[in-house]
Structure 1
Amino acid sequence: MKLFKEYRWVGCWSLRFLLAAALFSCQEIKETPVSKGDDGQVFAIDTQESELPYLVIDTQGKDIPYEPGVMAKMKIYQRKKLIQEQAIDLEYRGKTSFRLSDKKGFNFETVDASGEGMDVSFFGMPVEEDWRLIGHVVNLKDKYIWDRSLIYNHVGYELSNKIGKYASRGQFVEIEVNGEYLGVYYFCEKLKRDTNRINLMSLNASSTNLTGGYILKIDKADPGSEHDSKPLSYFMNNWDDDARYTAFNSFRSNFDIFKNPLSFPAFQAPYHSQQFLETYFWYEYPSAENITSAQKAYIAKYIDDFEQALISDDFSESTRTYTDFIDLGSFVDYFIVTELCRNVDAYRISTFLQKDRNGKLAMGPVWDMNIGFDEGGRIPITDWVANYNDYVNNDPWMVPFWWDRLLEDPRFKQAVKIRWQALRQGELSPSQIQKIVDDAVEYLKKNGAVERNYAKWDQGIGVNYDQAVQNLKIFLTERATWIDGQIGAW
């Protein structure tokens, strides 16, 4: 009897082993469904029947640098059909966002087979060679995300374009890079001089008319070509380069943020104790490498003449001289879009200015809204972003005195009032503002892009996408209503 019991136990164990082995074997040979493009390209994720363009970028085994770029192949699919293929020169982009975010952004240039730049159209946008892939900031270590709605830049740029002021055109896409799915990005135009972007007359070393065109930026400094090809570890920690202004790359205002003449030397070491008082103007076009001494002298004097006029004008009188130097309408529109979006980076960084040949200084285009809207908590919903300096002390990048001074001018305020109230009856009506949000959200959600993006990036952060969208819509309603009241009292 004892022998039988031992045999039965051994037999059952053997049977169990055989069954488990068979099950394991079945699991081993079971094929995992593969998502492919119509050309056989295997995707890192199944995009189902998504209308959202899906980009497959392959650097063919090469690491992606910060700058200069690396040659790569880019394929664009829609509903898994290959619709465009292009050689590109790819690099990482951003300063603070590059260092803080696990979801990196990219710059790329479209190139031919030899690596030379070539103009290309994407998604019906005008042909050009310089483009941006911008993702929202995701920090997995500290568990935070900027712009959980994924649409801040799109909303801000659409608002500007709708009121007739060019902002970067774009398209929501999903991307994978070297086989890794990276989620939803905003594929958009680089801001640069071009007939279909910032439409200015060209200016080169042989130009005899010094009046334009110029593009300036009030912004953090770029690392400079001397840092090309340094390892990524350098760019991850090069905070000093953000504040390294030189006579080569920029010029400084002669006035501090309180409109007092500056008495200490320009171009001191990064983050020196008085840097918060300074405003630097970065040479965007012509670039620092191409701008001539005469052109530098001209545009610096022009800015100084404007600033002196703005300071010296008596606003109790009927005459103005500062308006001889600026396109007032562009300042009004820049103010409106910036304030509606509560873009706390505007005025002081990521701020573009332009001056065409024989024209006046104009503000814009608007740019970089990743900590705007309901994310822009440095400024209360019931105050102007222009009053940033009242809430933040000694930031290396403060708001220039221009905006405080303009808000002292009844004529500027009246121009804002007339323009705002007209726009509220049309392009910036409550329904039109909400429609921009609703259309973008519907497009992303119905195509499954939100779900796929956060399957990748919501790693214990706890994103409630619908609530993020609702928060954005509530903010826009409350912000616009507050502006109605403020401007209505002017």
Structure 2
Amino acid sequence: MQGKFNHIFWVAIISLFIWTGCKEPVEVMVPIGDDGQVFAIDTEDSKIPYIVIDTRGASIPYEPGVVAQMKIYEEKKLIQTQRIDIEYRGKTSFRLSDKKGFNFETIDDAGEGTDVSLLGLPKEEDWRLIGHVVNVSEKYIWDRSLIYNPVAYELSNRIGKYASRGKLVEIEVNGEYMGVYFLCEKLKRDSQRIDIKSLNASSTNLTGGYILKIDKADAGPEHDGAPLSYFLNNWDDDARYTAQNSFRSQYDINRNVITFPPFAPPYHTNQYLETYFMYEYPNAEDITDAQEAYIANYLHEFETALIQDNFGAGQRTYANYIEIGSFVDYFIINELCRNVDGYRLSTFLVKDRDGKLAMGPVWDFNIGFDEGGRIPMDDWVINYNSLVDRDPWMLPFWWTRLMEDPVFRQALKTRWTSLRSGPLSNANLQNLVAETAKYLQDNEAVTRNYAKWEVSKDRTYEQAILDLQNFLSQRANWMDGRIGAF
């Protein structure tokens, strides 16, 4: 009844305005859902799901979240209503972008997390809404195509390596149209996501499962409830590693033993030499001392073997510690997509019970593809340390060392050659980009998004898609030459 009243109210206001401003009244169509929900924008006959999020007047925090109602529409028909707990997400992107991303959890009436299927995706409770970066004041955009992440994740899934699945949607938040987003799965332990055995404080088998992350540090629960202004300016927390949230590699990026103590203040002189492993699962609050010791020692033994193995003599004991195939596939996706953040940020590592260390899933490509300007078209992302001087987050030594192993290079060559005749062929790469973009264009979502977020008309959407397609073909062809010479 309330929705119907609101609909009548808004129609009355618009009709009155047009009656008093014109000689004859003009009928105006107000965009509404079939339940009477007034939309912030008219999606006309678009087939792209439209999501309405309403916090009932509460401000959205960075963390922890606030309760909201989420409605999902398809062609203006309400298909799902769900209570959620929503908060802002991201670090650099959160600070730089006016088009913010969101984390949300599906909850029940008591406020507890509950597994729910959204738009046909497998049931879970933790989700992400990711938009592209738009900075209005400085007039720049990252990923004008709007599809970097969906394309990269789909490529990974097509080669048989799980990546976050999702749907392109349009959203409004508290009555404000926010544009095109990618509604996708949070990377977490789950039988339908990262399928590894559970590990808790009572587990006696310490071998797994673990999820680690090489990334910027999280602000920590001590900052829960801090004002948004704090999170918009907390650059130091990105580099605030502690014994509670992480452990440090015993080797620096040049394969030397580190002699200075860990957990120094943010952005200290030698930070660029360090690699920290963040606890993702079990998380920093739940992981036990014994589990911390086990996984830190496992990583140290792997790194030591990788450094000390004599490949010329046929010694590669490092292979006892890692799933080489997962490293190969991780390399292929990040290199093909020229993911500037690959290997050194947003980098997930997984170890299942009684299993080896595996790379992935891949994550976060907002400065990849033709946006990845720090990496030349004709160079590897793994050479980042030679191309960028003393970034606070450099690559661990693993990748350049692995490329010194003829067996690893041959595994890469075999896999790449196979994929190039299938899911990573030039035709398939071109078609994936074209089909994904066409879905947005045919449903006018690109027009609506850039009516909201256009900051510079130096490049059309059509040109952005052509640039992305050209990039993928050129990059793949370059990789053919380099890998073929192994």
Report the alpha carbon displacement of residue 57 of structure 1 after superposing the two structures with TM.
0.4
Q: 1:207/1:478 Cα in 2 relative to 1: closer, same or farther (>3 Å)?
A: same
Match of 2:392 in 1: 396
Report the alpha carbon displacement of residue 459 of structure 1 after superposing the two structures with TM.
3.5
Matched, 1:409 2:410: no
Matched, 1:51 2:64: no
Match of 1:96 in 2: 92
**Aligned mates of 1:463, 1:68 — CA distance in 2:** 38
Matched, 1:114 2:103: no
What SS does structure 2 have at the residue aligned with 1:474? helix
Which portions of structure 1, spanning 4 or more consecutive aligned residues, are displaced by more than 6 angstroms? Answer: none
Match of 2:273 in 1: 277
Match of 1:315 in 2: 311
**Aligned mates of 2:153, 2:245 — CA distance in 1:** 28
Match of 1:451 in 2: 447
Which of 355, 358, 364 is 1:362 aligned to?
A: 358
Report the alpha carbon displacement of residue 461 of structure 1 after superposing the two structures with TM.
4.8
Which of 245, 249, 253 is 1:249 aligned to?
A: 245
Match of 1:19 in 2: none
The answer (yes or no) to whether the contact 1:340–1:480 under 8 Å persists in 2 is yes
Once the two structures are superposed, the pairs formed by residues 270-349 of structure 1 within 5 Å of their partners are: 270-349=266-345
What SS does structure 2 have at the residue aligned with 1:467? helix
Which of 456, 462, 465 is 2:461 aligned to?
A: 465
Q: 1:28/1:141 Cα in 2 relative to 1: closer, same or farther (>3 Å)?
A: farther
Report the alpha carbon displacement of residue 427 of structure 1 after superposing the two structures with TM.
1.2
What SS does structure 2 have at the residue aligned with 1:181? strand
Match of 2:5 in 1: none
* 1:283-329 CA-partner distances (Å, limit 9, x unpaired): 00000000000000000000000000000001101231000000000
Q: Which has the larger radius of gyration?
A: 1
* 1:68-101 CA-partner distances (Å, limit 9, x unpaired): 0000000000110001110000000000000000
* 1:37-73 CA-partner distances (Å, limit 9, x unpaired): 0001000000011100000000000000000000000
Matched, 1:229 2:225: yes
**Farther-moved stretch of structure 1 (453-462 vs 132-141):** 453-462
**Aligned mates of 2:387, 2:139 — CA distance in 1:** 26
Match of 1:167 in 2: 163
Report the alpha carbon displacement of residue 244 of structure 1 after superposing the two structures with TM.
0.2
What SS does structure 1 have at the residue aligned with 2:312? coil
**Aligned mates of 1:170, 1:446 — CA distance in 2:** 19
TM-score (norm 2): 0.95
Gaps of 5+ in 1: 1-21
Matched, 1:147 2:143: yes
The answer (yes or no) to whether the contact 2:103–2:128 under 8 Å persists in 1 is yes
**Aligned mates of 2:361, 2:457 — CA distance in 1:** 33
Percent identity of paired positions between Structure 1 and Structure 2: 68
Match of 2:70 in 1: 74
Report the alpha carbon displacement of residue 462 of structure 1 after superposing the two structures with TM.
4.2
Report the alpha carbon displacement of residue 435 of structure 1 after superposing the two structures with TM.
1.4
The answer (yes or no) to whether the contact 1:102–1:140 under 8 Å persists in 2 is yes
Report the alpha carbon displacement of residue 33 of structure 1 after superposing the two structures with TM.
2.5
What SS does structure 2 have at the residue aligned with 1:316? helix
TM-score (norm 1): 0.94
**Aligned mates of 2:284, 2:251 — CA distance in 1:** 22
What SS does structure 2 have at the residue aligned with 1:374? helix
Counterpart of 2:127 in structure 1: which amino acid? Answer: W
**Aligned mates of 2:32, 2:23 — CA distance in 1:** 23
Match of 2:8 in 1: none
The answer (yes or no) to whether the contact 1:256–1:277 under 8 Å persists in 2 is yes
Counterpart of 2:342 in structure 1: which amino acid? Answer: A
Counterpart of 2:297 in structure 1: which amino acid? Answer: K
Match of 1:188 in 2: 184
Match of 1:10 in 2: none
Counterpart of 1:401 in structure 2: which amino acid? Answer: F
The answer (yes or no) to whether the contact 1:143–1:461 under 8 Å persists in 2 is no
Report the alpha carbon displacement of residue 441 of structure 1 after superposing the two structures with TM.
0.6
Q: 1:462/1:30 Cα in 2 relative to 1: closer, same or farther (>3 Å)?
A: farther
What SS does structure 1 have at the residue aligned with 2:390? coil
**Aligned mates of 1:160, 1:455 — CA distance in 2:** 32
* 1:383-407 CA-partner distances (Å, limit 9, x unpaired): 1000001110110000000011011
What SS does structure 1 have at the residue aligned with 2:22? helix
**Aligned mates of 2:43, 2:407 — CA distance in 1:** 54
* 1:401-431 CA-partner distances (Å, limit 9, x unpaired): 0011011111110000000000111111111
Which of 114, 127, 140 is 1:131 aligned to?
A: 127
Match of 2:346 in 1: 350
The answer (yes or no) to whether the contact 2:215–2:278 under 8 Å persists in 1 is yes
**Aligned mates of 2:271, 2:153 — CA distance in 1:** 31
**Farther-moved stretch of structure 1 (371-380 vs 463-472):** 463-472
Match of 2:369 in 1: 373
Q: Considering only aligned residues, what root-mean-square deviation do their CA atoms show, in Å?
A: 1.2
Counterpart of 1:78 in structure 2: which amino acid? Answer: E
**Farther-moved stretch of structure 1 (138-147 vs 30-39):** 30-39
